[in-house]
Amino acid sequence: MKQVIFLGAPGSGKGTQAKLLVADCGFNHLSTGDLLRAEVAKESELGLKVKNIMENGELVGDDIVLELLKINCDLTGSQYLFDGFPRNLAQAKALDELVLGGTESVAVYLDLDLDVLLERLVNRRTCGDCGAIYNLVHSAPKVAGTCDKCGGSNLLHRDDDKALAVSKRLAVFKNTITPVLEYYEQKGNLRRIDASQNMDQVLVQMKETLGC
Ligand code: AP5
Ligand code: MG
C-alpha cells in the first residue's frame, strides 16, 4: 500500500482529483490548505497567525504545517493522499523522515501550463458546508449558488483566489517546485499526469497510475 503525494500548481486540480479518488478508491484525503483554512475559520491562535500569510498567497512556515500534518495523520492501516504537502525541498525531506518513515510512496505531479490557472481559480467556488469544489465555467453547480452534493447555499470564493494573491501563489510555486520534482525523480517514484485534460480524463489517467 503506497502513500500518495500530490504535487501541482495552485488550481492544477489536486483537490478535485483527491475528492474523486476518495469516493472511488477510498483514500484518506489530507490537504494542508484545508487544515489551515479550518484553523482560520475557527479563529484559533494558529489561524490568526496564518490568516494574512495565506491571503497574501505566501507559504506558511514549514514547522507549523508539519506539526499540523503530523497531528492529523495516522498511517496505521491507512492509505493517505497528501494534497498540498510538500511545497518545498525541506518539506519533502521532512515528510519522508518524520511522517512516512519507511512507508512506500508515489509522488504524482499534475502537470499543466500555468497560463490556464488564473481562469480556473478566479472561477472556483467551494461549498463551505461539505467542501465540494465547483468551477463557474467548467463544472458549475446545477442550480446557481446551491451545492449539488449537500444542497447548502454557502458557495464560497476563497480569499486567496483573487487575482493578486493568485499571481503571488503561482510565483511561489514556480520558485519552489523544481527541487521537489528532482527529489522524487531521483528516488524513482515521480509520475506525471497531463492535468490540462478535462476532469474525467485526468481521473482515468490517475487511476491507471495509482492502480485503483
Ligand atoms: P492549498 O489549499 O493547498 O492551495 P493550492 O496548492 O494553491 O491549490 P488549490 O487548492 O488552489 O488548487 P487545487 O490544485 O486543489 O485545484 P482544485 O482542484 O481546487 O494552499 C492554500 C494556502 O495554504 C497556500 O497558499 C499556503 O499559504 C498555505 N499552505 C498550504 N499547504 C502549505 C504547505 N505545505 N506549506 C506552507 N503553506 C501551505 O481546482 C481549481 C479549480 O479548477 C476549481 O474550480 C476546479 O473545479 C477546476 N478544475 C479542476 N480540475 C479541472 C480540469 N481538469 N479542467 C478544468 N477545470 C478544472
Ligand atoms: Mg486544493
Q: What is the CATH number of the domain that holds 199?
A: 3.40.50.300
Residue 160 lies in a domain: no
Residue 120 lies in a domain: no
pLDDT of residue 107: 98
Whole-structure pTM value: 0.96
Is the confidence at residue 102, as pLDDT, over 90? no
Q: Number of structural domains, the chain?
A: 1
- pLDDT-above-90 percentage for the chain: 96
pLDDT of residue 205: 98
Per-residue buried b or exposed e for 49-63, using 16+ beta carbons within 10 Å of the residue's own CB: ebbeebbebebbeee
Is the confidence at residue 1, as pLDDT, over 90? no
Residue 136 lies in a domain: no
Residue 176 lies in a domain: yes
pLDDT digits (tens, 9 = 90+) for 127-144: 999 999 999 999 999 999
Distance of alpha carbon 209 from alpha carbon 174, whole angstroms: 25
pLDDT digits (tens, 9 = 90+) for 159-185: 999 989 999 999 999 999 999 999 999
Q: Which helix (H) or strand (E) holds 80?
A: strand 80-83
- To the query of whether residue 120 is one of the catalytic residues in this protein, the response is no
C-alpha cell of residue 72: 492529523
Atom of ligand 1 nearest to the CA of 201: 53
Residue 139 lies in a domain: no
Ligand 1 mutation target, pool 5, 55, 135, most atoms within 8 A of CB: 135
Catalytically annotated residue among 19, 87, 120, 125: 87
- To the query of whether residue 191 is one of the catalytic residues in this protein, the response is no
- pLDDT-above-70 percentage for the chain: 100
Count of C-beta atoms within a 10 Å radius of residue 107: 23
Q: Give the residue numbers spanning the domain of 91.
A: 3-112+171-210
- Please, which residues have CB within 8 angstroms of residue 132's CB and are 6 or more apart in sequence? 19, 126, 147, 148, 149, 150
Q: How confident is the model at residue 7 (pLDDT cuts 50, 70, 90)?
A: very high
- The residue whose grid cell reads 478508491 is 25
Residue type, 158: R
> Which ligand is located closest to the Cα atom of residue 37?
1
pLDDT of residue 89: 98
**82 DSSP β-pair partners:** 5, 30
Is the confidence at residue 92, as pLDDT, over 90? yes
pLDDT digits (tens, 9 = 90+) for 10-53: 999 999 999 999 999 989 999 999 999 999 999 999 999 999 99
**Residue 186 CA to chain centroid, in angstroms?**
23
Residue 73 lies in a domain: yes
Residue 100 lies in a domain: yes
Atom of ligand 1 nearest to the CA of 121: 41
Q: Give the distance (Å) from ligand 2 centre to CA of residue 11.
A: 7
pLDDT of residue 139: 95
Residue 103 lies in a domain: yes
Bond into 86 cis (ω within 30): yes
pLDDT of residue 175: 97
Distance from the first to the final alpha carbon of the chain: 11
